[in-house]
């Protein structure tokens, strides 16, 4: 018998909470896109019930590099919570994750509630700030493999994020170089315009999609526009730096294995 939305949400929440991978849902049953987002919502309800607070939204597969790396070619969206936020100076513990990867992103801080589709021209009016960011993704599925529906149900692999200093919204961020360094070595190199041609297009997309889904973006919310490059596996002891032209450097440290 097919597993219910509630049961699948519990399995995914438990997998994240205990850092233990589960088999892909799609290997044993077919789920629709609507069901996948319903599983995501139900699994987030478990986090909210434990006291986590919503902080915003993320987009996924907004760059060709990410689509090709993961074999998924549709834009997806997920939910961020305060539990996922890594503050400057915090050290990430690898054992709290299954197989974490890091990727460089552009983040937006929202100035005014968005409850309708917006155009690219008016999108800047909704920005209180822009920043470079690092997202840590951690698929709850074995071998980091998933279908479109699987990854949506799994809240788009959302696990942790660190945001650099917020810069004024008129800071140029549209076609800026991005370098991801691990332990001082260049691991990925790209440009912010790899994100839908202009990262601000991600805000336009999420406003449209959320409106269709009856969700709003609150003032003060954070939006992660999607990775500009492929993601890289994290190892214990890694020192990660995201260098964002015009926006500064964002750092993340992974604890040594025996810490």
Stretch that binds ligand OOG, among 11-19, 110-118, 133-141, 210-218 (CB under 6 A): 133-141
3-state secondary structure of 242: strand
Q: For ligand OOG, which residue of 12, 26, 37, 60 counts as binding (CB under 6 A)?
A: 60
Tell me how far, at minimum, the Cβ of 24 lies from ligand OOG, in Å: 12
Tell me how far, at minimum, the Cβ of 101 lies from Mg ion, in Å: 9
3-state secondary structure of 44: helix
The conformational region for residue 102 under phi > 0 = left, psi -120 to 50 = alpha, else beta, is beta
Q: Which residue is nearest to ligand OOG (CB)?
A: 60
3-state secondary structure of 17: helix
Q: For ligand OOG, which residue of 31, 92, 137, 210 counts as binding (CB under 6 A)?
A: 137
Residues near Mg ion (CB under 5 A) are: 135, 227
Stretch that binds ligand OOG, among 47-55, 91-99, 113-121, 131-139 (CB under 6 A): 131-139
Tell me how far, at minimum, the Cβ of 231 lies from Mg ion, in Å: 7
Tokens matching residue 218: 């609150």
Give the pairing type, strands 239-244 and 248-254. antiparallel
Question: Which letter, b or e, does each residue of 35-69 get, where b requires 16 or more Cβ atoms within 10 Å of its Cβ?
Answer: bbbbbbbbbbebbeeeebeebbbbbbbbbebbbeb
Stretch that binds ligand OOG, among 53-61, 89-97, 117-125, 243-251 (CB under 6 A): 53-61
Q: Which is nearer to ligand OOG, 68 or 256 (CB)?
A: 68
Establish if 61 lies at the interface with ligand OOG (CB under 6 A): yes
Q: The tokens 């992660």 sit on which residue?
A: 224
Establish if 40 lies at the interface with ligand OOG (CB under 6 A): no
Q: For ligand OOG, which residue of 66, 79, 94, 140 counts as binding (CB under 6 A)?
A: 66
| Binding partner at 13 among Mg ion, ligand OOG, none, C-beta below 5 to 8 Å by kind | none
| Binding partner at 151 among ligand OOG, Mg ion, none, C-beta below 5 to 8 Å by kind | ligand OOG
Residue pair 136/242 in contact by the 8 Å Cβ criterion: no
Q: Which is nearer to ligand OOG, 226 or 242 (CB)?
A: 226
CA atoms lying within 13 Å on the CB side of residue 64: 6
Reported as type and span, the H/E element at residue 47 is helix 33-49
- Cα angle at 55 between 255 and 115, to 5 degrees? 155
Q: Which is nearer to ligand OOG, 156 or 207 (CB)?
A: 156
Report the interhelical angle of 33-49 vs 5-18 (nearest 10°).
50
Residues that bind ligand OOG (CB under 6 A): 58, 60-61, 66, 70, 103, 135, 137, 139, 151, 156-157, 226-227
């Amino acid at each position: 018998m097919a597993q219910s939305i509630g049961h699948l949400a519990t399995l995914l929440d438990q997998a994240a909470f205990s850092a233990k991978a589960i088999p892909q849902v799609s290997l044993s049953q077919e789920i629709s896109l609507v069901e996948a987002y319903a599983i995501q919502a139900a699994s987030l309800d478990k986090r909210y019930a434990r006291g986590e607070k919503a902080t915003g939204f993320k987009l996924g597969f907004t760059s060709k590099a990410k689509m090709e790396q993961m074999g998924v070619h549709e834009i997806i969206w997920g939910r961020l919570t305060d539990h996922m936020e890594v503050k400057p100076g915090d050290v990430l513990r690898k054992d709290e994750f299954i197989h974490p990867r890091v990727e460089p992103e552009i983040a937006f801080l929202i100035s005014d509630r968005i409850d309708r589709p917006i155009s690219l021209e008016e999108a800047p009016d909704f920005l209180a700030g822009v920043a470079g960011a690092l997202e840590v993704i951690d698929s709850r599925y074995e071998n980091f493999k998933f279908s479109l529906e699987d990854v949506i149900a799994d809240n788009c692999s959302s696990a942790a994020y660190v945001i650099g200093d917020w810069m004024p919204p008129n800071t140029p961020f549209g076609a800026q170089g991005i370098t991801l360094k691990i332990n001082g070595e260049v691991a990925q190199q790209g440009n912010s315009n790899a994100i839908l041609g202009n990262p601000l297009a991600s805000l336009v997309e999420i406003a449209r999609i959320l409106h269709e889904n009856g969700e709003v973006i609150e003032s003060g919310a954070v939006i992660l526009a999607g990775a500009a490059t492929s993601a890289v596996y994290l190892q214990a002891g890694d020192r990660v730096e995201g260098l964002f032209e015009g926006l500064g450097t964002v750092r993340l440290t992974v604890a040594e294995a025996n810490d």
